[in-house]
Amino acid sequence: MKTYTLTTEPDKKSPAGADVRFMMSSDTGGMIHSTVPPKQINKAVVHTSVNEIWYILEGHGEIWRDDKSHNQVTTLLPGTSIDIPAGTAFQYRNVSDQDFKFICVTMPPWPGEQECTYVDGHWQPTI
């Protein structure tokens, strides 16, 4: 059994550019807390084998997702959940003047930076 308390400082930057705090990890998945500063537009990426599920905690963001059959921008507000299946290109941004925060669950657990490939996105990144 594990118990975790969120740290005050980020552990690292995600490949896309969010401030990441590691939370939980198991053989079948992982969980992180992500923060995107005000007005930041992150880099567009695609994952080879990892699926993600997000739950929005605070702020106002947008995410662009393209799985080659659907290409859409979704508004991200507190209480919203989304999925990002492996092979889906995505890019997200904070459109507000406050931090944009969300929980991200990865399945399987994040294998490392080699999982992520940069792609052309919907917006010009600011980082």
At residue 30, the pLDDT reads: 97
Interval 11-17 mean pLDDT: 95
At residue 7, the pLDDT reads: 93
* Residue 57, CA distances (Å) to 23, 89, 102, 124 in order: 15, 23, 5, 25
| pLDDT above 90: percentage of residues in the chain | 98
**Domains of the chain by range and CATH?**
12-118 (2.60.120.10)
Q: Which tens digit of pLDDT belongs to each residue from 66-85?
A: 999 999 999 999 999 999 99
At residue 87, the pLDDT reads: 98
Nearest residue to 94 via CA among 17, 9, 21: 17
Average pLDDT of the chain is: 97
Distance CA 14, CA 99 (A): 16
User: What is the three-class DSSP state of 117?
Assistant: strand
Distance CA 74, CA 93 (A): 11
Residue-wise over 32-65: b if at least 16 C-beta within 10 A, else e?
bbbbbeeebbbbbbbbeebbbbbebbebbbbbbb
Give this prediction's pTM. 0.95
